Amino acid sequence: MSFFQEENDEYEDVSTVMVRNSHLDLMDQDILYHLALGSGSHDLRAMFGDVKFVCMGGTPKRMEQFAYRLMEEISYKIPTGTTLQDISRYSYRYSMYKVGPVLCISHGMGMPSVGILLHEIIKLMFHAKVVDPVFFRIGTSGGIGLEGGTVIISDEAVDGTLQPFLELQILGKTVKRSSVLDKKLQWELKSLAEPDDPYPTVIGKTVCTSDFYEGQGRMDGAFCDFTEEEKMEYLEKLKFNGVRNIEMESLAFAALTHHAGIKAAVVCVTLLDRLKGDQIHYPKEVLDEWQQRPQKLVCRYIKKYLSKR
Ligand code: R2B
Ligand code: URA
């Protein structure tokens, strides 16, 4: 397909990941504490220099599953009788698996968790001199006017007030970072949705919140000070503004990858339609199958890219 052709052309002008921190040059080693790795203790270039894709998702189990799916799909072999190792197991924070040029990492829940991980993974890419990696978040979300099981590729990540910025408080001041996602990557992913897929794959805006309950207009948390009418007015306003889903990491993911000049995409499945309710009531087997849908799409992308090399 033509886009991979173009992409390869693009990669003729390759560049390694840069960090925007001159202080790192002055440190004799950099401890990536939450990954249980370090530039002094590990040969990061030898371990990770070949990475091309970094895939992040909420839970360790899902990312392990994804790593095994990839192994199958790209025919990546490990010695018979052995299993993939969780590279960050001694951190007891995140889980990380490497399948050839793909890193699969759990990011936990919420922007602080994915933010810490991104700082360390971006530095890992820098120390390992990785060339033009592509980052994916594969996750779950609440749909806005879309049935459970729908796959959404985010074209923009915005906060609960629809602002396309991540707001950080640094030294007591508010700093805004734009949450930009790669347009071309979104359409490349969309083109890999198959007519036979028994679910829709759409592109749309994603609201990212700091809370699952009140922050997402749910009335089933421990606290709720708004009425059903106020909730529906807000959710309808989101729909009117092109929002297709709500989750909790895309804003930090988009803003920090963009700040590092890294191409990134967010692909989430919906677990319910928030215009119809708050509780996630589907059976576990249904939810498990739905959660594999973003994995399948990203897997198709990686497979296609690798087959063109
Ligand atoms: C989706 O699901 C989690 C909350 O249940 C959160 O990490 C998110 O973004
Ligand atoms: N994750 C969220 O953040 N919200 C939902 O409604 C479902 C999954």
pLDDT of amino acid 6: 43
Q: How far apart are CA 158 and CA 209, in angstroms?
A: 9
Residue-wise pLDDT tens digits, 19-72? 999 999 999 999 999 999 999 999 999 999 999 999 999 999 999 999 999 999
Q: How far is CA 8 from CA 74, 183, 189, 309, in A?
A: 19, 17, 16, 8
Question: Under a CB-based contact definition with an 8 Å cutoff, are residues 4 and 305 in contact?
Answer: yes
Q: How far apart are CA 253 and CA 134, in angstroms?
A: 12
Quote the ligand 1 centre to 106 CA distance (angstroms). 12
Task: Tell the residue nearest (CA) to atom 3 of ligand 1.
Answer: 109
Q: How far is CA 15 from CA 10, 54, 129, 130, in A?
A: 11, 16, 9, 8
Q: Which residues contact ligand 2 via a Cβ below 6 A?
A: 140-142, 212, 216, 246-248, 271
Residue-wise pLDDT tens digits, 72-98? 999 999 999 999 999 999 999 999 999
Q: How far is CA 71 from CA 1, 50, 100, 269, in A?
A: 23, 16, 8, 22
Q: State whether the beta carbon of 114 lies less than 6 angstroms from ligand 1.
A: no
Q: Which of 107, 137, 141 to mutate to test the pocket of ligand 2 (most atoms within 8 A of CB)?
A: 141
pLDDT of amino acid 22: 95
For residue 212, which atom of ligand 2 is closest to its CA? 3
Residue among 70, 116, 118, 74 at smallest CA distance from 97: 70
Give the tokens for residue 8: 């390869």
Q: State whether the beta carbon of 109 lies less than 6 angstroms from ligand 1.
A: yes
Which residues on neighbouring strands pair with residue 157, listed in sequence order? 206
134 phi and psi angles, rounded to 5 deg: -115, 130
Burial of 170 (0-12, 13-18, 19+ CB in 10 A): exposed
Which residues on neighbouring strands pair with residue 141, listed in sequence order? 270
Q: Interface pTM (ipTM) of the complex?
A: 0.99
Task: Tell the residue nearest (CA) to atom 3 of ligand 2.
Answer: 247
Given a cut of 50, the residues of the chain with pLDDT beneath it are 1-12
User: Residues with Cβ < 8 Å from 195, sequence gap 6 or more?
Assistant: none
pLDDT of amino acid 140: 98
User: Residues with Cβ < 8 Å from 232, sequence gap 6 or more?
Assistant: 275
Q: How far apart are CA 134 and CA 56, in angstroms?
A: 11
pLDDT of amino acid 13: 62
Full-model pTM: 0.95
Quote the ligand 1 centre to 208 CA distance (angstroms). 10
Which residues on neighbouring strands pair with residue 96, listed in sequence order? 105
